[in-house]
Structure 1
Amino acid sequence: MTALQRYGEFFSAMQPEDLDRLDAVFVENARFRDPFNEVNGIGGIRAVFEHMYANCAEARFEVLESVGDERLGYLRWRLHFRLRRDKAPRRPLEGVSRVVFAEDGRVREHVDYWDAAGELYEQFPVIGGLMRWLRSRLAVDSGG
């Protein structure tokens, strides 16, 4: 099993109790970045995921595909979630993570790429309306 496959399995099965073993997955000074956070070190990475679990009653990643080698890989994923105040799950978010591995197979860098405006913000009443209006103003008219 490759480092990317191991990480994909960890990522897709991750639960709050798995945060206690992040040092087996990430090097001490690992870098993590997503549209909302940029942190360095296992403590910072743990804080990002603790925050996610604190605000989501349900959160789980589904790895859809992976491409890479022992040094560098990409995971395409879908996040299924429900915020604590929600009665039903929200539409899943899709994104891609670029993952760089250290020589020992642990993660040295994890950078998420996903469309916060289109994937997340549009699901909220006020800001969603604003995002849809803005998108309609900036999009090319394909009625041609």
Structure 2
Amino acid sequence: MTEILVSALLLMGAALMLLAAIGIIRLPDLPTRMHATTKSGALGTALIMIAVAFYFAEVAVVTRALAIIAFIILTAPVAAHVIGRAGYFVGVPLWEGTIKDDLKTSYDPETHYLRSGFEEDAPKKPAASKKTVKAKAKPKR
């Protein structure tokens, strides 16, 4: 019975990993590719680790498998978000069929200023350089 459960979990995990790989190849732009790899890849890896935990059924292996699952589920979405946002900021083009672009009204590509919507008066020019800040901070004699 355990072999059937382990086999089913391994096949589902491998199928989800294959789906993530196909998503990288077939999807049109960076955000959708990141979505495919994050969701399918994390779930596929989790299913494979659960299969490993069931197969070996030892405390050390189960603990490691659960730690791997927790690590992937915590880090994969954050990494995908950071990579997707960095791609947007450096100018990676979105797919022409993209309907919603939330950052378009908040991000200025010339100054690289990203407004959150909570500030009262957004600066119209970039922040002063460190030399300017140091020069202003020195007391006059």
Query: Do these two structures clear the TM 0.5 threshold for a shared fold by scoring above it?
Result: no
Q: Which has the larger radius of gyration?
A: 2
TM-score by length of 2: 0.30
TM-score, structure 1 as length reference: 0.30
Larger helix percent: 2
Higher strand share: 1
